[in-house]
Structure 1
Amino acid sequence: MDLQLTGKVALVTGGTKGIGRAIVDLLAEEGCAIALCARSAAEVEATVATLRKGGTRATGRAVDVSDHAALRAWVADAATELGGLDIVVPNVSALQVGRDEAAWRAGFETDMMGTVAAVDAAMPFLEKSKAGSIVIISSVSGREVDFAAGPYGAFKAALIHYAQGLANQLAAKGIRANTVSPGNTYFEGGVWQNIQNNLPDLYAQALALNPTGRMGTPQEMANAVAFLASPRASFITGTNLVVDGALTRGVQF
């Protein structure tokens, strides 16, 4: 299926590794120009160079999304450089599962307000797009209580509510807003590889919960994001798409 993404401009936060990198690569493959950020300047430069080598118009900057002023400035600069924005994918998480105040504040500033700041900064450009789309990366931990209960789960749940509110508020402007909630996703250098290496019992327990017998891949999450971001999903807005291999048991109405 042609997703009709050729010529669109997509912005992805946390776009150098894991799910974010898979989203960047797939959107580029589908014909999008790409703006990406991450905290590591070297990783951003390497990713942008790879994209450009493959023929993609790409730009990037080292940005910590908890620095909201820097994030807003980069979004505006990237949109200006690439000639607008059609797709925004806030992907970064502080991955906070601690229970102290510092963990809650880090989760709020990164997961919640890092997303809000990116969307707000992108809005003037999305309003000019004929296919404006926001796809926020949430998590199955936002749907049910699991080992990540606390800041991570709470803010991932809040992001689903935020996106559904945006969908209602922006529908008349032709801008769609959805979330993708990945289940456990395994990739080299990721959280689950670290757990596998250092907490093998927890890894085994988590793996056993999934009836497919495996964890998801970044590519499988990116596939869902690309579809929801694309004009092919033109009448889908306010949806939380769970991509978890039947990990969660709750019925989503």
Structure 2
Amino acid sequence: MDLGITGRTALVTGGSKGIGRDVAHLLAGEGSRVAVVARTKADVDDAVASIRDQGGTAVGVLADMTDGEQVRRAVAEVREAFGPPLIVVGQTKFTVPGDFADIEDVSTYVDSFETYTVSQIHLLHAVLPAMREAGWGRFVHIGSATAKEPVGNIHHAVANATRPSTTGLLKTVSDEYARYGITVNTVAPGWIETQNAVDYLRANAGLETEEERRAWMLGNAGVPAARMGRPEEIASLIAYLCSAQAGYVTGNWIEVDGGHHRSAF
């Protein structure tokens, strides 16, 4: 399928690893000019080289997306290299595990809110004006299924408290900007087989092998698919949401979790 985004400029935050890297590759493969944005130069350089080796067009930008000044600079660098980014994939990470009783420092919750939600405010302010002027834009946030259905047994009280605020923000923005041809959606992965997730399960559940992880997914996590998802299974949906064909899909929360979410709605 031709996604109709040849020549578009795409900015992919966290594009050097995991899901973000797969998204960057898919968008480049569709003819978009991709800016890989992350904090670590070696990882960014490796991702950019990989895209170019496959015939794609890419540039690397170093930035911490939780810092408003760095966000604005990153967007300016992308604009100078390729033109304004009309496709934007946003994500940030903040991990302070623990149950509610374990975390008494309220500033931890504040830091989490700033990482998950304020970072997206900075990014939206930086990219929406050009999208509105162009009459076309795609903004996809990579969130987490726990924002809608918090999971207590993974001990992330802080994330469970602060992730939903990002979802509310993006739904509001999607309503305000849909009339300008701009879509805003959240993709919510469940258990995805990234290195971080594998390390977490090793440290907290003692799982060493894929067979052990599959059994745990079904018996403990309650994932009907009985396995972790693959990063490319998330990336493919994100690429579609960035497409010309997805112009009537906006304001949505789309879970990709192997059936983990139990509600029919």
TM-score, with length taken from structure 2: 0.87
Q: Describe the shift of the 1:84–1:245 C-alpha distance in structure 2 as closer, same or farther (beyond 3 A).
A: same
Distance, in Å, in 2 between the alignment partners of 1:194 and 1:220 is 20
SS in 2 for 1:248: coil
Which aligned segments of 4 or more residues in structure 1 are displaced greater than 6 angstroms?
none
Pairing of 1:3-82 with structure 2 (within 5 A): 3-82=3-82
Verify: 1:104 aligned to 2:109, yes or no.
yes
Query: What is the aligned partner in structure 1 of residue 210 from structure 2?
Result: none
Q: Can you give the 5+ residue segments of structure 1 that lack an aligned partner in the other structure?
A: none
Is the contact between residue 217 and residue 227 of structure 2 (CA under 8 Å) also seen in structure 1?
A: no
Query: What is the aligned partner in structure 2 of residue 194 from structure 1?
Result: 199
Give the structure with higher Rg (CA): 2
* Aligned-CA RMSD value: 1.9
Query: What is the aligned partner in structure 2 of residue 213 from structure 1?
Result: 226
C-alpha offsets along residues 43-62 of structure 1, whole Å, 9 cap, x if unaligned? 11221222223332212222
Q: Which amino acid aligns with 1:40?
A: T
- Cα deviation for residue 205 of structure 1 reads 4.3
The size of the alignment, in residue pairs, is 250
Query: What is the aligned partner in structure 1 of residue 248 from structure 2?
Result: 235
Q: Describe the shift of the 1:125–1:80 C-alpha distance in structure 2 as closer, same or farther (beyond 3 A).
A: farther
C-alpha offsets along residues 10-50 of structure 1, whole Å, 9 cap, x if unaligned? 11111111111111111111211111211111111221222
Is the contact between residue 38 and residue 61 of structure 1 (CA under 8 Å) also seen in structure 2?
A: yes
Query: What is the aligned partner in structure 1 of residue 136 from structure 2?
Result: 131
Distance, in Å, in 2 between the alignment partners of 1:66 and 1:240 is 22
TM-score, with length taken from structure 1: 0.91
Distance, in Å, in 1 between the alignment partners of 2:258 and 2:176 is 31
Aligned-residue identity in percent? 33
Verify: 1:173 aligned to 2:186, yes or no.
no
Q: Which amino acid aligns with 1:216?
A: G
- Cα deviation for residue 151 of structure 1 reads 2.5
Distance, in Å, in 2 between the alignment partners of 1:167 and 1:145 is 24
